[in-house]
Amino acid sequence: MEYFALFLRLSLILIILSCNNDSFELNSNSHEVWYKQAALLWEEALPIGNGRLGAMVFGNPVHERIQLNDDSLWPNDLGWNHPDGNPEDLKNIRQLLIQGDKKAVDSLLVKKFSRKNVVRSHQTLGDLFINLNHGIITEYKRSLRLDEGITSVFYKSDGYKITQEAFVSAPDQTIIISLKSNHPKGLSGSIQLSRPKDEGVATAKTFTKKGSLIMEGEVTQRKGTFDSKPNPILEGVKFQTIIKAINKGGKIISTDKKLELKSVKELELRIVSNSSFYHQNYKIKNFEQLNNLKEKSFNNLKKNHVEDHQSLYNRVTLDLKQIIDYKISQLINELKRLKKVELI
């Protein structure tokens, strides 16, 4: 029986190693995960973040979606109190356990030490959409360089190379997205920001100001629940998100709720976002952070980010191939030993 179990474990490892998925590869030498198509589901998008701000990059060349996140976006705490269970109730429950009355124990635990169904959720910051008027897309690849914390999207439009890079810097507290086009017509399209409604009620407004795209809002949860009873939360953390767009070639036109791109050769988006959770004057904090970026080039920001990321990432090395090879060797030796025992 032990011999058979070991044989099954070895077979499972070999099956896993032999599996081939055309849509995904992990390059162990460059610490790169890459795919041959854009993400269709949120779980397939590539994550980047700095501990406070985060993003999920879908990598769609025509209708790019980058879902944004801020760790402080919660609806208000309404002062929901704790269950009223006390030491005497706990003593009673223990006695019922000893007596084997599981049904009574379960009922008392729910009644005395539970608030039953409770719903108060951390929520998304929203979505950045980059819509581009491309031609025929070929040679597509999107990747995440784990050792640098940078996502990349490479493809050709009508045979001309387009590249996109994105990262979230901790030193500069900003999300950076860069797009470059070799197409003679450059990049044309639009940039938009939005946030999901709360049961049909808008939770944010988007507008443009001085060439920047701005979203301001407040987190609410109209389907909040406490003690299995409806408990709407109509106030919460307030926030402001600003996208500063910088272009080389072409032009950027501001409309009421979006930025329009016209034949842009290079586009850089600098995104800052702050909330009332951390700062009373969170709008001023955004202004300060954007102002601190003025004298920094894309390459400066990228260098600062990579150095900071690698100061943490390079502390640990994990070689899965070595671990798997070692486990296989162990299993083979154990199989040989058990075979000898059987022969004796």
pLDDT in tens, the chain (344 residues): 454 554 455 555 555 555 555 555 555 556 899 999 999 999 999 999 999 999 999 999 999 999 999 999 999 999 888 898 999 999 999 999 999 999 999 999 988 999 889 999 999 999 999 999 999 999 999 999 999 999 999 999 999 999 999 999 999 999 999 999 999 999 999 999 999 999 999 999 999 999 999 999 999 999 999 999 999 999 999 999 999 999 999 999 999 999 999 999 999 999 999 999 999 999 999 999 999 999 999 999 999 999 999 999 999 887 777 777 777 788 778 777 766 655 44
- What are the DSSP E strand ranges found in 170-203? 174-181, 187-194
d(CA 192, CA 261): 11
**Which helix (H) or strand (E) is 208 found in, with range?**
strand 204-209
CA atoms within a 13 Å half-sphere pointing along the CA-CB vector of 15:
6
> Which residues, at least 6 apart from 83, have a Cβ–Cβ distance to it below 8 Å?
112, 113, 114, 115
| Structural domains present in the chain | 34-74+123-297 (2.70.98.50), 81-114 (no CATH)
d(CA 55, CA 35): 18
Q: Give the pLDDT score at 334.
A: 76
Task: Phi first, then psi: give them for residue 151, nearest 5 degrees.
Answer: -95, 145
d(CA 95, CA 90): 9
d(CA 90, CA 261): 65
Closest to 64 in 3D by CA, of 247, 269, 244, 286:
269
Q: Give the pLDDT score at 25.
A: 56
Instruction: Count H helices and E strands in the chain, helices first.
Output: 6, 19
Closest to 286 in 3D by CA, of 238, 235, 237, 239:
239
Q: Give the pLDDT score at 299.
A: 97
